[in-house]
Structure 1
Amino acid sequence: QVVVTDDYEQIPGNRERRTEEISPVKAPVQGSDTGSNPVLTRESQPIEQAPVQEVSTYTAPAATSQGYGHSSTPPHPAVSGWSNGPSLPTTPPEPGAPYRFLGKNARHIAIVVFSPNEAYLPDDQLQLLTKMLDACKLNLGDVAIINQATQVVHFTHLGDQLQSQKVLLFGVQPEQIGLPMNFPGYKEQEYAGCTYLLANPLGDMNQPNEEGKALKGKLWGCLKKMFNI
């Protein structure tokens, strides 16, 4: 129903324009007084707005150098970045294709990294890792470098396929390889016959500043203990 004001007849020629400007009167609510409707103009007609529906968002927690970072941000700016992969269930998925890795795994040492733009690691980070291994009297033939950015890595498959006895996690949280526990960074953790060590991404350690130097120092202290140097 369209209602016009009582001055309509005094404005000839404007009927169409005026009826377009006037809002329709709402139908009365059932059971209410159905008497005469008040005259509503543009000024008196209330404007109803549909409620705005809030959309909740979720931001993945940032990892820190101390392990799980569910409530804080990284103390060191990430160059290569921590893994953004999902947490995996403790029960392993169905066995898939054999892991692709760099090295020969002669000493059953798995090194899990996260490098989305490389097959394994950028050259500068691989060079840093090689120097660290050399300091531990190891080389690439002794280890298996696995890129978690290109394949799903689960701790049970590391044991089944590679017989891993030691696992170094660079920028990859324990839950992202299915481990059912939290443990801090730069501290050895034993589980199911394997020793795990969590550390910052190699890109963080390769920074030419005091922070990069400090992270390398923390890792070196752990490696000396892990490999009895």
Structure 2
Amino acid sequence: MGLDDINISPFLVEKLYKNSLIETTVSGNVIGNEDIAKDESLVKSKQIVIAPQNYLGNIKFLGKNAKNIVVLVDEKMHAFLGDDELSFLINIFNACAINMQDVALVNVCSNAEVEYENLNAQFAPVIVLFFGTEPQLVGYPVQIPAYKIQKYNGQQYLCAPSLQKIAADKEEKKKLWLCLKEIFGV
């Protein structure tokens, strides 16, 4: 079994990433996988810790947006991301010296209000990362080729394949890392 085949329980993820996850207590509404949301006893017993939904307007997001970084994903099966994709994203953030408090993670699939103007009004993003979604689908006025950093309207944009695809392909990881090093100066 390789390192890519190791499954980590949500309880262990909480312990390992206690300084990079956004909250360690349950407050607000329970979100996440449908199975987890149905069994609140797991959340109350702290076997699973789920971050609350945040509303600063009509767009639901995960994180605190402390550094005005918006991460857009298109995930039809989860409220935001699956466990594997979220762990991968947190590892990416750790390598870039940021954490979930610094970003607003938005699932375009579950947010009808996600459009260019609404995102700018609600989050005032400095950096916008697209994973597995096209900028034109949410009304962005610029075309962004994959792994090409674009600057427009005082913002930096990066478009990449889905996190699931990137996690499974070493070449995709290298391309993403080169771009993120430039964006975050690491």
1:135 to 87, 95, 104: 95
1:223 pairs, out of 174, 180, 185, with 180
Aligned to 1:160: 121
Deviations 1:164-209 (A, max 9, x none): 11100001111011112322110111112211100010010122xx
Matched-pair contact (CA < 8 Å) for 2:64–2:101: yes
State which of 79, 100, 105 in structure 2 corresponds to 1:145: 105
Residue in 2 that maps onto 1:104: 64
Report the residue type matching 2:175 in the other structure: K
**Secondary structure, in 3 states, of the residue corresponding to 2:180?**
helix
Shift of 1:102: 0.6
Identity within the alignment, %: 39
Q: What is the TM-score normalised by the length of structure 1?
A: 0.55
The answer to whether 1:175 aligns with 2:132 is no
Q: Which AA in structure 2 matches 1:148?
A: V
Counterpart-to-counterpart distance in 1, 2:156 and 2:138: 14
Instruction: Give the aligned length.
Output: 130
CA distance in structure 1 between the partners assigned to 2:82 and 2:108 by the alignment: 14
Counterpart of 1:227, as a letter, is: F
Among 151, 158, 162, the residue aligned to 1:197: 158
After superposition, residues 30-69 of structure 1 pair within 5 angstroms as: none
Corresponding letter in the other structure for 1:155: Y
Q: Is the 8 A contact 2:149 2:157 kept in 1?
A: yes
What secondary structure is seen at the aligned counterpart in 1 of 2:88? Answer: helix
Q: Which has the higher strand share?
A: 2
Tell me the secondary structure at the aligned position of residue 214 of structure 1: helix
Q: Please list every run of 5 or more consecutive structure 1 residues that lacks an aligned counterpart in the other structure.
A: 1-96
Q: Secondary structure of 1:102's match?
A: strand
CA-based RMSD of the aligned residues comes to 1.4
SS across alignment from 2:78: coil
1:125 matched to which residue of 2? 85
Question: By percentage of residues, which structure has more helix?
Answer: 2
Q: C-alpha offsets along residues 119-176 of structure 1, whole Å, 9 cap, x if unaligned?
A: 0000000000000000000000000000011013112211110111110000111101
Compute the TM-score of the two structures, normalised by the length of structure 2.
0.67
Partner letter of residue 226 of structure 1?
I
1:35 match:
none
Residues 9-60 of structure 1: CA deviation (Å, up to 9, x unaligned): xxxxxxxxxxxxxxxxxxxxxxxxxxxxxxxxxxxxxxxxxxxxxxxxxxxx
Distance in 2 of aligned mates of 1:98 and 1:151: 8
Match of residue 66 from structure 1: none
**Contact 2:79/2:107 (CA < 8 Å) preserved in 1?**
yes
